Amino acid sequence: MSRKYGKKVEIKINPLAYNIGLIGESGIGKSTTIKEFCEKLVGDDGYIMLDIGKEDGHKAINGIVSAEIPDWDTFSDFVDDVIENKATDYKNLKVIGLDTYDQLVEIAEPEVVRMHNRANPDKRVDSINAAFGGFGKGMDKVSEIILDKLWELKKVGVSFIMIGHVKNKEIDDAATGESYSILTTNMSQKYFNAIKTKLDFLGVAYVDRKIVKEKTGKKNIATKQDIVKSKVAEESRRISFRDDNYSIDSKSRFADIVDNIPMDSDALIKAINDAIMAEHSKGEKTVDESKKEEAKEAKNKEKEVEKYIENRKATKVDEVVNAKLISEIQDKFSVQSKEVKNSIKIVMADNGFSSFRDEDIPTQALKKIVSMLK
């Protein structure tokens, strides 16, 4: 029986079909690990690492394919450029690295403040906490505009890997009210939760240290006991996907993910692939059958992508161009004939705006209106 809703989910074999995150201490090797992870999966043409905001760490990684993203306008332009030129300049692009998500949030905050002030010129604010009525609504808007951009890229076949920093935090348990220490994100928990809920794999990079006690050769004058001190005997960098003690804020939607691995790109690829294959083996199809189906789906999706890109061009908003076009329209509108004015109103209605002060007016619509002016 064929029905409109409800069908079996089939596990994708491609690891980049899933949303991946890696957080860890600064300098532990997150960017290098993800760079090598991407190179081994899709090659140099298949990935771009975004050096966002003040992160500025890619200059120390030889051979990394990098793009500097100092502010939100540049990030927005990057997304537009990838989508509009996906069939040519970015034909082989499969994944971007957000290095770091912390900084992506930071460059998005001024954009949300600007959005608020444009929509509310009589109630201007200068902080994210006051934007859109306060009470966290400004922060919600930050997460919304970031995720919207990432999902636009996913629509044209470009996935993302989230990279972030960590620190030890005291967390209040929602059920018991008790506090406990956890190695988790460095950013606001509200921002982190908004992206964490979208991740299929979240690894936490940490340094595993073996601490030993050794005698100093001195004795305590009062107790006559040997004085000992702690010393790091050995250490290794690792990635945790699951922590039964809940002291590391990792995550996996795949039940068979290994608890932790060495911090190494080969180990990371193997851990994710093994978890995917373990879940895939619970289904009816062979790996070869799934690979063939995924290849066929990718081919069919090319037409969908072309249609999406064309539609996006028609609805794209270029605020700099818009400001010039609106100024020209307002200067000439009063002298237009009744017939032209009515035609302009039809274009406005067809494109979903009733005032030139509205947000997100399609640039193509304004260009059409300008072409109608006498």
DSSP 304-341: HHHHHHHHHHHH---HHHHHHHHHHHHHHHTTS-HHHH
Residue 181 or residue 101, greater confidence: 101
- In this prediction, residue 154 carries a pLDDT of 96
- In this prediction, residue 3 carries a pLDDT of 85
Q: Is 3 domain-assigned?
A: no
Asked if residue 327 and residue 200 are part of one domain, the reply reads: no
- Report for 218-222, 224-228, 333-337: range of highest mean pLDDT: 333-337
pLDDT of 228 over the 80 cut: no
Task: Go through 175-208 and write b for each residue having 16 or more CB atoms within 10 A of its CB, e for each that does not.
Answer: eeeeeeebbbbbbeeebbebbbeebbbbbbbbee
| Angle, vertex CA 353, rays to CA 348 and CA 357, nearest 5 | 110
The whole-chain average pLDDT of the chain stands at: 90
Residue 304 or residue 67, greater confidence: 67
Mean pLDDT of 15-28: 94
Do the beta carbons of residue 263 and residue 238 sit within 8 Å? Answer: yes
Its domain, for residue 329, covers 319-372
Segments in the chain forming alpha helices (H): 30-42, 72-84, 101-119, 137-155, 189-196, 265-280, 287-315, 319-333, 338-350, 363-372
The set of residues, in sequence order, having a beta carbon less than 8 Å from that of 181 and lying 6+ positions away, is: 168, 169, 170, 171, 247
| Rg of the chain on CA atoms, in Å | 26
CATH code of the domain covering residue 35: 3.40.50
Asked if residue 340 and residue 280 are part of one domain, the reply reads: no
Q: Is 100 domain-assigned?
A: yes
- In this prediction, residue 158 carries a pLDDT of 97
Asked if residue 31 and residue 143 are part of one domain, the reply reads: yes
Q: Residue 181's Cα: distance from chain center in Å?
A: 26
d(CA 275, CA 24): 22
Residue 105 pLDDT level (bands cut at 50, 70, 90): very high
Q: Is 141 domain-assigned?
A: yes
Mean pLDDT check: name the lowest of 68-82, 99-113, 116-130, 166-180: 166-180
- In this prediction, residue 233 carries a pLDDT of 67
Asked if residue 292 and residue 354 are part of one domain, the reply reads: no
Q: Is 9 domain-assigned?
A: no
Mean pLDDT of 269-282: 96
Asked if residue 202 and residue 166 are part of one domain, the reply reads: yes
Asked if residue 139 and residue 257 are part of one domain, the reply reads: yes
Q: Is 82 domain-assigned?
A: yes
Asked if residue 268 and residue 366 are part of one domain, the reply reads: no
- In this prediction, residue 220 carries a pLDDT of 78
Summarised one tens digit per residue, pLDDT across range 284-320 is: 999 999 999 998 888 888 888 888 888 888 788 887 7
Please state the domain count of the chain: 2
Asked if residue 330 and residue 279 are part of one domain, the reply reads: no
pLDDT of 11 over the 90 cut: yes
Q: Is 175 domain-assigned?
A: yes
Report percent pLDDT > 90 for the chain.
Answer: 61
pLDDT of 27 over the 60 cut: yes
pLDDT of 109 over the 60 cut: yes
Q: Is 99 domain-assigned?
A: yes
- In this prediction, residue 211 carries a pLDDT of 67
- In this prediction, residue 38 carries a pLDDT of 98
Of 10, 8, 14, nearest to 291 (Cα)? 14
Q: Is 4 domain-assigned?
A: no
Summarised one tens digit per residue, pLDDT across range 182-204 is: 888 888 989 999 999 999 999 99
Asked if residue 331 and residue 272 are part of one domain, the reply reads: no
Asked if residue 140 and residue 19 are part of one domain, the reply reads: yes
Residue 168 or residue 125, greater confidence: 125
Asked if residue 347 and residue 292 are part of one domain, the reply reads: no
Q: At residue 258, what is the residue type?
A: V
Mean pLDDT of 58-84: 95
Asked if residue 359 and residue 290 are part of one domain, the reply reads: no
Q: What percent helix, strand, coil does the chain show, rounded to 5?
A: 45, 20, 35
Burial of 263 (C-beta count, 10 Å sphere; 0-12/13-18/19+): buried
Report percent pLDDT > 70 for the chain.
Answer: 97
Summarised one tens digit per residue, pLDDT across range 230-272 is: 776 678 899 999 877 667 788 899 999 999 999 999 999 999 9
